[in-house]
Amino acid sequence: MSTTASRRIVVIGGGPAAHRLVDALSSRVGALGADTPTPLRITVVTEEAHLPYDRVQLSKRLAGPVDLTLGDAELWQAQYVTLLRGRRASVIDTDARTVTLDDEAVVPYDELVLATGSAAALPPVENAAAGRVYRTLEDVDALVAEVAELREKRRRAPRVVVVGGGLLGLEAAGGMAALGGSAAIVHSGRWLMSSQLDEGAGRALGRLISARGIDLELGVRPTGILTAPSGAVTGVRLTDGRVIAADIVVFSIGITARDELARGAGIALAPRGGVLIDDACATSAPGVWAIGEVAAYDGQTVGLVAPANAMAEVVADRLLGGSATFPGVDDATKLKLSGVEVASFGDARAVSEGALEVVYADPARGLYQKVVVADDAKTLLGGIFVGDASPYLSLRPLLGTALPAEPGAYLAAAGAEPPTSAELPDAAQVCSCNNVSAGSIREHIADGCTDLGELKACSRAGTQCGSCVPIVKKILDQELVKAGVEVSRALCEHVAMSRAELFESVRILGLQTVGEVLERFVSGGIGCDICKPVVASVIATQTGRYILDDGAGALQDTNDRALANMQKDGTYSVVPRIPGGEITPEKLAVIAQIAMDYGLYTKITGGQRIDLFGARLEQLPEIWQRLIDAGMESGQAYGKSLRTVKSCVGSTWCRYGVLDSVGMAVQLELRYRGLRSPHKLKMGVSGCARECAEARGKDIGVIATANGWQLYVGGNGGMTPAHAQLLAEGLDDATLLAYIDRYVMYYVRTADRLQRTARWQEELPGGLEHVRQVVVEDSLGIAAELEVAMARHIDSYEDEWAATLADPERLRRFRSFVNAPEAGDPAVVRVPDGRGQSRPASEAEREKIMLSGPEIPVRVR
């Protein structure tokens, strides 16, 4: 690209809007080619040290240091893009067309784009500086550290008071509660999210939030933060004269546009703040544009991602000679707040003349759904959903069009079955974040994007918040079917069926051995690394037989074949089951003695189990014999099955405990142990709403309340964490177990290979509501069948290591060297880890030992 006529574009701000602008310009410049007459030189100035990240997903940072970087980092490596991180613009000179930075450096521009975003607003209350905000990565990380520090220092859950009951306030309160804080919300409105929801929806939301252990102080404001002489926060004084206890105060009352640069440059501002823009996103100063939260369109600023993206696209088009205009603000919102689904779009409050409201409200369940239509009772104007937002995905793209069914058909909470087969019109907006229509998605499919991942990359649909992915997938499948392309659900090239179809076929035909399944359903009768473990798992689930018999051993992966997890040095780990994390001192002594006798590294796992590392293959039977003699059994840490049921101490010891969480955790673990499933399963039981067992991060989460057990389903940690969703509450022990039986067995029967419960639940037609209908309401009439199948598993359970030790032929598998069954492996070398134990030697350490002999203590095992 020639630089002789380069147009110098300077962007101030490094948030999502700036990222979208640079990305849009980059893609357009690439499409123009190297000979474009208007080459660009883009300079982005940002105060933050990070690459632009997704602020919408900030709450994910509460669970750990997750990477929220937007898009591909290669964008910032382009030769025409310069990213100045950790730099602040201090002065804009619109006459000289320059920007002066905080180090006095002067950056000239031909076009300037203000993307300075917003700051968290602070209320005019006494001692406001003692509060915290929830706006940046640094803010979130600091809060995480402060909660942890206070928990450790004061040996109790820190009291966190969040001021503000809007979107960010609820997210902050839920995040603080998830971190182990005792959260409360102070909100000036009479109901939560009073700016977005009507009273019915806001009240329903309040009931659901309260049920999660978050206290609500509504209709009041803070007048001051109280502190001790040391400066530590002690409480918050309210407008009604009361003082509520607090260790941390978080302000989340809204945002204030960062318009100080524009003000200093004499650029016109809106009366309530923000840089005034027209429909081209141009400001009052020539060559200066504004996008995102700093921009005021029709005098109003908006803190949503969809309008910011739309503004960025408009400015990118204008900078390259186009004539795009900003279509206005789309304030549709769908999110989960503290595990509660909330969505609103369009004229949700029914202020349009002649608007009609179709409402379903169930205060006891905390459900509220409303569809707003024009006076013709057909044209969709908007909607609000709390507690169950499943209709949002079907309705949002139809805004402004005639509904294909009666409005009441979309009130899923009332038991209605919304139409799902109708195709969306081309003009329907599928992805509001990136302004992608159904027609645009179909064009990309016609151009060859026939894989969901490719389609998302080509169209950008589903790449921001992800809520539209189910509709994108639906359009893709519809278009492939119309084109005569079969939408394959084959397990692999050898098995034409999906895992669920294979499971049902084996069950219906009553097949009992791996050989029967291979012969009947696997092309060539041999299979591959994908289908063979699935066949073995299906047979194990349905027959309850020892997993290595009848030819199944050859089909299993390394860990299942050894009934232990292989480690990096070729040795194995031993994990005895400790139901609910409860163990006697006598059993602890056995584990400790085994660790000393065999020189094993010991560690408490995240699932409240004791892991013993470093056992050789031939040592496993000896170790397990001692464990079994002491009354322990395999924890199946190696299998796609139930791993652990984590628990707090519950009502047995804890002064906050409501129910016996340990007893329930032990019962669950002993009930579901050994059940082979599509993916590993984890469960958790918390004795109160303080959630010390982190149950909502598990596939099955159980939380005690004064009204009985709450049952959460579909959560998981791992690479893509997901919070479990509330399935039912107010349950007694028997009902809880029945629902879990049904849920787990339905998952085992219908999930895809290696599909975790979270993804399975998301991809089911109807999602959580479908699960609720099947499990709670028995909509398919299979509840008794699922319970019988689980009872069959419970009755047939046998510990795999006990079965191994009882059979000499099975024991033959556990020999490292056939000719010398007692020999060790000289290749296994350990070195001290500096913390009182030994670890596997690194390659450099092994090479040094081999060449010159050990200069540090070494153990060869």
* Residue 595 belongs to a domain: no
Q: How many domains does the chain have?
A: 7
Of 199-213, 246-260, 408-422, the range with the lowest mean pLDDT is 408-422
Q: Are 797 and 544 in contact (CB under 8 A)?
A: yes
* Residue 443 belongs to a domain: yes
Do 463 and 521 reside in the same domain of the chain?
A: no
Do 706 and 754 reside in the same domain of the chain?
A: yes
Question: What CATH code is carried by the domain that includes residue 449?
Answer: 1.10.10.1100
Do 180 and 268 reside in the same domain of the chain?
A: no
* Residue 738 belongs to a domain: yes
Last residue of a domain, one of 556, 581, 600: 556
- DSSP 8-state assignment for residue 239: T
Percent of the chain with pLDDT over 90: 31
* Residue 624 belongs to a domain: no
* Residue 536 belongs to a domain: yes
* Residue 1 belongs to a domain: no
Do 176 and 230 reside in the same domain of the chain?
A: yes
Q: Is 697 helix (H, G, I), strand (E, B) or coil?
A: helix
State how far the Cα of 280 lies from the Cα of 315, in Å rounded to an integer: 7
818-823 — which CB contacts under 8 Å span 24+ positions? 821/618, 822/618, 823/618
Do 450 and 310 reside in the same domain of the chain?
A: no
Last residue of a domain, one of 253, 270, 305: 253
Do 795 and 646 reside in the same domain of the chain?
A: yes
- At 179-191, the pLDDT tens digits run 778 889 999 999 8
Please give the model's pTM, rounded to 2 decimal places: 0.54
Burial of 797 (0-12, 13-18, 19+ CB in 10 A): middle
Question: What CATH code is carried by the domain that includes residue 758?
Answer: 3.30.413.10
pLDDT over 60 (residue 851)? no
Do 46 and 114 reside in the same domain of the chain?
A: yes
Comparing C-alpha atoms, which of 707, 711, 733, 706 is closest to residue 724? 711
- At 74-120, the pLDDT tens digits run 888 888 899 999 999 999 999 999 999 999 999 999 999 999 999 88
CA angle 355, 361, 366 (to 5 degrees): 135
* Residue 844 belongs to a domain: yes
- DSSP 8-state assignment for residue 611: E
- At 663-703, the pLDDT tens digits run 999 999 999 998 888 888 999 999 998 889 989 999 999 99
Do 479 and 506 reside in the same domain of the chain?
A: no
Q: What is the pLDDT of residue 330?
A: 66
* Residue 586 belongs to a domain: no
**Which domain does 206 fall in, by range?**
128-253
Residue 141 identity (one-letter amino acid): D
Among 145-149, 194-198, 394-398, 669-673, which range has the highest average pLDDT? 669-673
Q: Is 113 helix (H, G, I), strand (E, B) or coil?
A: strand
Among 131-135, 233-237, 532-536, 639-643, which range has the highest average pLDDT? 233-237
Around 16, how many Cα atoms within 13 Å sit in the side-chain half-sphere? Answer: 24
Last residue of a domain, one of 780, 799, 818: 799
Do 41 and 70 reside in the same domain of the chain?
A: yes
Q: What is the pLDDT of residue 818?
A: 38
- At 49-65, the pLDDT tens digits run 889 888 877 777 776 67
Which residues on neighbouring strands pair with residue 611, listed in sequence order? 603
Give mean pLDDT, residues 142-147: 87
Do 739 and 718 reside in the same domain of the chain?
A: yes
Q: What is the pLDDT of residue 827?
A: 52
Confidence of residue 331 (pLDDT cuts 50, 70, 90): low
pLDDT over 80 (residue 423)? no
- At 757-775, the pLDDT tens digits run 988 888 787 788 889 999 9
Mean per-residue pLDDT over the chain, rounded: 83
Percent of the chain with pLDDT over 70: 87
Confidence of residue 555 (pLDDT cuts 50, 70, 90): low
